[in-house]
Amino acid sequence: MTEEWDFDQTEELEENEQDVINYRISSYPADITLKGYEDKWNKRQLTIPDFQRNYVWDQVKASKLIESFLLGLPVPGVFLYKDRSTNKLAVIDGQQRILSAIRFFRNEFDEKIFRLKNVLPKWEGKTYLELDEPDRFQLDDTVLRATVVQQLDPADDSSIYHIFERLNTGGINLNPMEIRKCVYYGKVFDKLEQLNENHKWRAIIAKDKIDKRLRDVELILRILALYEDWESYSKPMKGFMNRFMASKKRLSSDHLDSELDILTEKFNSTCDIILDHLPNRPFHLRGRINYAAMDSIFVGIMRLERVPSDIDERYNTLVNDEDFIRLASISTSDESTLHARFSRAYSILSE
């Protein structure tokens, strides 16, 4: 049976309708030579984001690309994202082309020596160092044009997020959380993935296996973002979660560590309470996870100063409350609906 992971259809539709973008990015062409890419790779200025698939070309396909460069044939350009705080370049699109050239310069292909294969006879079987000098110069100086995009406002990553979302290249259709893993990589994302391994959390969502597409990690992000400040929530939910990630990225290392420690303790202790006091699959209303019920109940418990002895009875009252069920079923991402849902949940769960 296929596991249900989608948001409730009403919320998903509203998210798409409200996805209005105010672009604050710049882009420019960069004529980078193949040797230039290798130099940036060696200096760790050029990176492959975690969401990208692995290098998948075989030696013949990579050799054909090198042959195209040697023949001076046109090769499609690549897209790079420049992080203004570090000046590092992340490959949005073009990993296979860039790494094929780098591998040839470095004379390596997996565990083998990179010898050209199925190319013109004068180059067949040759490594980079075995090419004639004019051919090496030709390859060194060949330009693989890049389109470099960067955020105009270093404090606002929203437009770059949407650039990744719309390009959505590299052979896979990226979902929002996979894009966040690239745009907001670092301690916060590492912490989300760590929390996702909590066996009590996995029991609560009734999913033994870690989801390869990060949808379980996104649930944790949703909970933490709303725990921290649901009162200031504005739709779309996707943008609200992005702003949470961006705000953490701007913190100093010590401040961020302190905040993550607090969030970790709150999240894990709430998992303990839910698993110990609530019924199995407490958020699987009508057979599937209801994200709106989950976020408000989970956050409501996280915010309790003291857990009532009858928390199980309060939970039962809440999930049988007509107003709460309506707020968790219709227009769930609207500001007014979410605020009312969270207020209702907390009022019933607290003393």
Residue spans of the domains in the chain: they are 9-20+174-349, 25-151
Could you give the CA distance from residue 235 to residue 239 in angstroms, rounded to a whole number? 7
Q: Report in angstroms the alpha-carbon separations of 237 from 166, 176, 232, 290.
A: 18, 11, 12, 15
* Least reliable range by pLDDT among 8-22, 48-62, 96-110, 130-144: 8-22
**0.85 exceeded by pTM:** no
Of the chain, the percentage scoring pLDDT greater than 90 comes to 70
Q: What is the pLDDT of residues 116-129, one digit of tens each?
A: 999 999 999 999 99
Strand partners, 90: 47, 81
Confidence grade of residue 20 (pLDDT, cut at 50, 70, 90): very low
Is residue 26 pLDDT above 90, yes or no? no
Range with lowest mean pLDDT among 80-84, 169-173, 295-299, 337-341: 169-173
pLDDT of residue 118: 96
| Predicted pLDDT of residue 150 | 83
Q: Using alpha carbons, select from 276, 38, 242, 54 the residue that is nearest to residue 159.
A: 242
Higher pLDDT, 92 or 21: 92
335-349 helix and 291-302 helix, angle to the nearest 10 degrees: 50
pLDDT for the residue numbered 249: 84
Most confident among 89-98, 172-181, 313-322 (mean pLDDT):
313-322
Average pLDDT score, the chain: 88
| Residue 122 tokens, joined | 């004068």
Identity (one letter) of the amino acid at 38?
A: E
Question: How far is the C-alpha of 154 from the C-alpha of 26, rounded, in Å?
Answer: 12
> What average pLDDT does the segment 196-220 reach?
95
